[in-house]
Amino acid sequence: MRKPIIAGNWKMHKTIAEALEFVEKIKAEVAGTDVETVICAPFTQLKDIKQAVKDTNIKVGAQNMHYEEKGAFTGEISAAMLKELMVDYVIIGHSERRQYFNETDETVNKKVKKALAYDITPIMCVGESLEEREAEKTKEIVKDQTMKGLEGLTNEQVSSLVIAYEPIWAIGTGKTASSQDANEVIAYIREVVKDMYSEEVSEEVRIQYGGSVKPSNVEEIMNESDIDGALVGGASLEASDFTALVNF
Ligand SMILES: O=C(CO)COP(=O)(O)O
């Protein structure tokens, strides 16, 4: 059985004080859940959040990292730096990073490998744009991104990571893919993983949906056969919404 995983992606929101206030509000509310609960926060908050959740089941993720070990990469953060903070997850290849920060399938692949080498679980994002969807290229795009992103990994590594299917047109727009559509694409990604690795790996890898997930639609999405979780932007910023998502 794949453990459900709800992850909040705060993007560029919250100060440390606001983050800690949020954590205090959700701690008790998510204490009894079997759902893996993850907060992906900006770098500046990670240390304090990790400290604040230390006696809870809440996991902490970063939103990006560099693939090199160290060096002259002004403004970047390495896997070792995240590991030092005991970060559990790292989002890799979010569409906003692909769009605004030149992230490519090749850098995504390098980052996935580096995160795994440091025992940080990657949440690797894939997803098509509106033009690509309208041109009926959704499957082609997600297949390409999945294959390139996961290239050269072991079965065990792929089984352990998380993939997030986030159609770009559904991010922050209020437009959600219908749960059936999202499930169909996610089942297809599972097929791609099966062809690349094995049936067992494809049954073990967890695949989330992301794009305008909110308390009112999370249950329907989570009830789909192939969707194991959600990667949530806007609705993860309010403690009451986030706890509702985790307790879907
Ligand atoms: O990009 C997302 C999560 O990574 C989705 O954002 P929204 O939930 O705000 O649409």
ipTM score for this prediction: 0.99
- Cβ distance 225 to 208 under 8 Å? no
Structure tokens at 202: 């494809």
Q: Which residues are annotated as a binding site?
A: 9-11, 172, 212, 233-234
Ligand 1 pocket mutation, candidates 176, 231, 237, criterion most atoms within 8 A of CB: 231
pLDDT for the residue 16: 98
Q: Which of ligand 1's atoms lies nearest the C-alpha of 171?
A: 10
Cα 45 to ligand 1 centroid, rounded to whole Å: 19
pLDDT for the residue 158: 98
pLDDT for the residue 212: 94
- Cβ distance 11 to 39 under 8 Å? no
Structure tokens at 160: 């352990």
Nearest 5 degrees, angle CA 59-CA 156-CA 147? Answer: 95
Q: Which SS3 state, helix, strand or coil, does residue 1 take?
A: coil
Output the ligand 1 site: residues, CB below 6 A. 9, 94, 166, 171-172, 210-213, 231-235
Q: How far is CA 201 from CA 16, 160, 162, 237, in A?
A: 38, 9, 12, 33
Q: Which of ligand 1's atoms lies nearest the C-alpha of 40?
A: 4
Pick the CATH number of 5-246 from 3.20.20.70, 3.40.50.300, 3.40.50.620, 1.10.10.10: 3.20.20.70
Residue of 9, 59, 6, 10 whose CA lies nearest to 218 = 6
Residue 123 phi, psi (nearest 5): -110, 95
- Cβ distance 9 to 232 under 8 Å? yes
pLDDT for the residue 84: 98
- The set of catalytic residues is 94, 166
Q: What is the DSSP string of 110-128?
A: HHHHHHHHTT-EEEEEE--
The count of other CB atoms within 10 Å of the CB of residue 20 is 16
Dihedral sign (CA 39, 116, 209, 168): positive
- Cβ distance 159 to 205 under 8 Å? yes
- Which residue puts its alpha carbon closest to atom 7 of ligand 1? 233
Q: Which residues are annotated as a binding site for substrate?
A: 9-11, 172, 212, 233-234
- Cβ distance 208 to 163 under 8 Å? yes
Residue type, 83: K
The whole model's pTM is what? 0.97
Secondary structure E strands in 118-226 = 121-126, 162-165, 206-210
pLDDT for the residue 146: 98
- Which residue puts its alpha carbon closest to atom 6 of ligand 1? 233
pLDDT for the residue 174: 81
pLDDT for the residue 152: 98
pLDDT for the residue 173: 86
Alpha carbons 2 and 17: distance in angstroms, whole number: 34
Packed helices 43-52 and 16-27: angle between N→C axes, nearest 10 degrees: 30
Per-residue pLDDT tens, the chain, 248 aa: give them: 899 999 999 999 999 999 999 999 999 999 999 999 999 999 999 999 999 999 999 999 999 999 999 999 999 999 999 999 999 999 999 999 999 999 999 999 999 999 999 999 999 999 999 999 999 999 999 999 999 999 999 999 999 999 999 999 998 888 878 999 999 999 999 999 999 999 999 999 999 999 999 999 999 999 999 999 999 999 999 999 999 999 99
Ligand 1 pocket mutation, candidates 130, 166, 169, 214, criterion most atoms within 8 A of CB: 166
pLDDT for the residue 150: 98
Cα 245 to ligand 1 centroid, rounded to whole Å: 13
Dihedral sign (CA 178, 229, 124, 204): negative
